[in-house]
Amino acid sequence: MESYFSLAEQYSTQSEPAFCGLGTLCMILNSINMDPSKTWKGPWRWYSEEMLGCCTSLETIKEKGITLEQFWCMAKCNGANISLYRYEDSTIQQFREHVMNASKYADQYLVSSFSRKFLGQTGDGHYSPIGGYNKKHDSVLLMDVARFKYPSYWVPVETLYDAMSGIDVDTGRSRGYFTITSNSSQEGSRLYKLFSSNKVGWRQLTLMMLAQVLPNLHNLDSLNSLVYSLFEDTPHDIQDVLISYCDTLHSELLHCQDHKEEVLATLTNLRALELHSIVSTQFNKQFSALSKKHHACDLATLLLLTLPLRNFPVTPSVQKQIDQYRSLEGSSPSLKQELLRMRSHLATLCSSCGQMQNEFCCAQATSCNSNHGTSSIVLPHASHNHLKEPKCDTSRCGCVDKKSIKNLM
């Protein structure tokens, strides 16, 4: 019952009928003291459901709920260490062992996605944290976030495991469970999480660039041309997204306390880069209205440095120049750590979308296959009994068109 006590402190009720996944994830993130890196409700920082729109819109979640892949993505977006085990890829003994481990250690958590029908309850798909294990009765305590409907209750392990075999009609696949722990040593980029609750989060902006903007560009012969082509006033409203980010960053710097100096130091170091100077010159020349928006050039530079892309649609000489800037040689250690962390984070998250992993590179992955210090994301082999980095259902999240991604290179 070790994890029960921290979960009980954060026990909350889902605010919408389809928010069981969000309500459950909020309980977990708050239980492991994950910092959302964004000031909310005055000086206080904790997770609430409306902050978890990084992988799909809250409007869509209200209507359809979330898939297992989207739950995984949201947890990963916010720095948690999470693994997904689908019913068909696991065994009841494996599930029982995870339950027992979560009940022994205060820093390990388990979330089950199951069909209520198997428990004789009304409704169907549901997410719930597992708060404890009774070895004598081989039962788990489900801390149901639909507290207006059901209180916490005990369920035999075998019954809950069977309930995870229920098919999600939206994906055509079984349900399953997650193991979640804190990942404080690699909590993720502070700047990335800062924009995760914007209407268009940094992940969505990255996917928009990769799937809808970059495929239409070819053999650009200068960095100036690349900057102009990426940020011109296109139908994708990239400039509007940047403006919304500027407003978010400005507001955060006005109100945050704990990490204000850290963010300001990152921005100062970013502005010292030669690439930032190139972006600023081009913005002043081509996007005068946008350049007047404080932080617009900072964010555009940040995007160029963190796009998890091996090659840009430019000539070889320009690509060589980009590689030089993206190597981050000469940048401050703190800025380099933040940018590499953000790039790695985006590569992992984007590679879970469609069949995109072969199109991305990650400066912190282990299997290097490039001359520029970058490497391909290596996803678990199909024979593995669990899936740490799942593929999302693009029809649900609306992230990308697989064909357009394949044409990127």
Average pLDDT over residues 328-334: 91
pTM higher than the cut 0.85:
no
What local confidence, expressed as pLDDT, does residue 257 receive? 67
Indicate the pLDDT class of residue 255, thresholds 50, 70 and 90.
confident
Q: Which residue ranges form the domains of the chain, and what is each CATH number?
A: 2-186 (3.90.70.30), 190-406 (no CATH)
Q: pLDDT at residue 228 above 70?
A: yes
Average pLDDT over residues 340-351: 78
Alpha helices in 57-156 (DSSP H): 58-64, 68-77, 92-104
Q: pLDDT at residue 256 above 80?
A: no
What local confidence, expressed as pLDDT, does residue 47 receive? 86
What local confidence, expressed as pLDDT, does residue 363 receive? 28
What local confidence, expressed as pLDDT, does residue 386 receive? 38
Residue 331 and residue 325: Cα distance in Å, rounded?
10
For the chain, give the percent of residues with pLDDT over 90: 45
257 vs 88, residue with greater confidence: 88
What local confidence, expressed as pLDDT, does residue 234 receive? 65
Token pair recorded at residue 258: 């704990």
Average pLDDT over residues 386-398: 40
Indicate the pLDDT class of residue 233, thresholds 50, 70 and 90.
low
Question: For the purposes of burial, counting CB atoms within 10 Å of the CB of 260, is it exposed (0-12), middle (13-18) or buried (19 or more)?
Answer: middle
Tens digit of each residue's pLDDT (9 = 90 or more) over 185-211 = 555 677 877 787 677 878 788 888 888
Average pLDDT over residues 116-137: 95
Q: Mean pLDDT for the chain?
A: 81
What local confidence, expressed as pLDDT, does residue 326 receive? 94
368 vs 135, residue with greater confidence: 135
For the chain, give the percent of residues with pLDDT over 70: 81
Q: Are 140 and 34 in contact (CB under 8 A)?
A: no
Q: How many CB atoms lie within 10 A of CB 142?
A: 22
Q: pLDDT at residue 370 above 90?
A: no
Indicate the pLDDT class of residue 401, thresholds 50, 70 and 90.
very low
What local confidence, expressed as pLDDT, does residue 392 receive? 43
Closest by CA to 15, choosing from 112, 198, 146, 130, is: 146
Q: pLDDT at residue 385 above 90?
A: no
Tens digit of each residue's pLDDT (9 = 90 or more) over 50-68 = 888 777 888 889 999 999 9
Tens digit of each residue's pLDDT (9 = 90 or more) over 61-117 = 999 999 999 899 888 878 888 999 999 999 999 999 999 999 888 889 999 999 999
- Of 83-97, 143-157, 158-172, 357-371, which range is least confident? 357-371
What local confidence, expressed as pLDDT, does residue 236 receive? 61
Most trustworthy range by pLDDT among 15-19, 34-38, 138-142, 379-383: 138-142
What local confidence, expressed as pLDDT, does residue 202 receive? 82
Instruction: Return all residues near 185 (Cβ < 8 A) that are at least 6 apart.
Output: none
DSSP per-residue string spanning 201-241:
-HHHHHHHIIIIIGGG---B-SHHHHHHHHHSS-TT-HHHH
DSSP per-residue string spanning 298-311:
HHHHHHHHH---S-
What local confidence, expressed as pLDDT, does residue 315 receive? 95
What local confidence, expressed as pLDDT, does residue 280 receive? 94
Q: Among all residues, which ones are annotated catalytic?
A: 20, 126, 144
